[in-house]
Amino acid sequence: MGSKKRSPNSFEEVEDLDNTNTNTEDANIEDTDNDNTSSNLNRKKMKKDKNKETETPDGDASKAGLSSISSSMKPMERRKKRKALDKERQHAALENKEVKTKKMDVDSKVTENKEHTGASSRGTLPKFHIGVFKDLASVDVSVREGAVERLVTELQEVQKAYEVTENKEVVEGELKLEAEKDDGLNDCAPSVRYAVRRLVRGASSSRECARQGFALGLTVLVDTIPSIKVGSVLKLIVDLLEVSSSMKGQDIRDCLLGRLFAYGALALSGRLAEDNLFIKEFTDVLISLAAKKRYLQEPAVAIILELVGKLPTEAVLNHILEAPRLREWFEGGIDAGNPDALLLALRIQEKISN
């Protein structure tokens, strides 16, 4: 068998094939290396991503926990701060209130003193609200008593200012009301004189509880203001509540009851016990009133007994028993069998014997 010779061309082809194979293998090796490196990189990236994924929930959880704690702590701190601020505000408000009230009290006192001194120097007097007379006729006892208190308080201030006023003639010219009439209350302020007259007239009113309210006002006013003279009040009762010939029925009754209530107010004031000069006159007018109507006897005797209780024994002997009309009434009571006269005689006897 003969061997075939290879041609140089075939040899070159083999070399080319070897080179191509080699190149291909190298390329493949490089590709595999590149693939390996890329796969390694991808794996590292995946690991990092996984680590990030695993780390992120924990981190987010921790951050969320911190934020929740801080968010929960913030409202509590805010509440505490609000409470503390509220307390501070309340304390500040209370302190401001106390300061304001003290200041107001001081200012009011200063203004009152200024008004009082200013009014007396200018010849003007504090204002007297005559609307208070309306409440004196109220059915409610507390309303009547409150009205009397306001009435007397205001008139006291008016009288005080009037007494220190230099130009009394100017004041009397400005505030006449009804004080220009000759009522004997020359030492009283015009408002006081007006009030006395109106209280006496009001005691004869049959409207609701006017008699009780006006009589109470007269009692307290006469007792409170010494400038109101007892003799002047007695004169006003006769003049203002005089029964005229033109009166009939209810008008006569109202006047007589008005006198009775006004005399009772004078006895309750205690001024008659201080001024003995008018006890005889007072006893006589009450006995005269009791003799007019049968229904007036018992209350008239009750008023005299009220006065007897306030007087010492000497005054009873020298003034009440010396009243001319009382002796006549006692003598007539024996024949007529007057129980009221008998009661009065027994009580006076008891007073004298004790």
Domain coordinates of the chain in residue numbers? 129-257, 270-354
More confident residue, 93 or 158: 158
pLDDT for residue 275 = 79
Write the burial class of residue 76 (CB in 10 Å: 0-12 exposed, 13-18 middle, 19+ buried): exposed
Asked if 171 and 190 touch (Cβ cutoff 8 Å), the reply is: yes
Average pLDDT over every residue of 106-115 = 45
Tokens, residue 2: 């003969």
Asked if 224 and 275 touch (Cβ cutoff 8 Å), the reply is: no
Q: Model's pTM, two decimal places?
A: 0.64
Asked if 266 and 282 touch (Cβ cutoff 8 Å), the reply is: yes
HSE of 234, CA atoms in CB hemisphere, 13 A: 17
Tokens, residue 155: 């008139």
Residue type, 131: G
More confident residue, 103 or 272: 272
Which of 12-16, 87-91, 194-198, 232-236 comes out lowest in average pLDDT? 12-16
Pairwise CA distance, residues 192 & 155, whole Å: 6
Cα–Cα distances in Å, from 108 out to 103, 125, 128, 138? 8, 18, 19, 32
Q: Which of the 8 DSSP states describes residue 316?
A: I
Residue with the two structure tokens 């009221």: 340
Interaxial angle between packed helices 324-336 and 339-353, expressed in degrees from 0 to 180 and rounded to the nearest 10:
120
Residue with the two structure tokens 């005054």: 315
Pairwise CA distance, residues 58 & 60, whole Å: 5
Residue type, 170: V
pLDDT for residue 104 = 52
Whether the predicted pLDDT of 203 surpasses 60? yes
Whether the predicted pLDDT of 32 surpasses 50? no
User: If you average pLDDT over each of 1-15, 19-33, 40-54, 340-354, which comes out highest?
Assistant: 340-354
Q: Predicted confidence band at 228 (pLDDT cuts at 50, 70, 90)? A: very high
pLDDT for residue 10 = 43
- Which residue, among 122, 121, 148, has the nearest Cα to 133 in the 3D structure? 148
Asked if 329 and 290 touch (Cβ cutoff 8 Å), the reply is: yes
Average pLDDT over every residue of 146-160 = 95
Mean pLDDT, the chain, rounded, equals 77
10 Å Cβ neighbour count for 53? Answer: 9
Cα–Cα distances in Å, from 309 out to 273, 316, 344, 350? 10, 9, 12, 11
More confident residue, 93 or 7: 93
Handedness of CA 232, 235, 241, 246 (dihedral sign): negative
User: If you average pLDDT over each of 41-45, 90-94, 345-349, which comes out highest?
Assistant: 345-349
